[in-house]
Amino acid sequence: MGRRSPAWVNSAVLLQALERYEQGRLPRSMQLWIQQLLELPPIEHRSADPLPPLRRAAMAAP
For the ranges 3-12, 40-49, 50-59, which has the lowest average pLDDT?
Answer: 50-59
Return the pLDDT at 27. Answer: 92
Does residue 6 sit within a domain? no
DSSP annotation string for 8-42: ---HHHHHHHHHHHHHT-S-HHHHHHHHHHHTPPP
* Cα–Cα distance measured from residue 23 to residue 20, given in angstroms and rounded to the nearest whole number: 5
Does residue 17 sit within a domain? yes
Does residue 3 sit within a domain? no
Asked whether residue 45 carries a pLDDT value surpassing 50, the answer given is no
| Number of folded domains that form the chain | 1
Is pTM beyond 0.75? Reply is: no
pLDDT tens figures, 15-39: 898 899 888 888 999 999 888 888 8
Q: Write out the residue range of the structural domain in which residue 32 sits.
A: 11-60
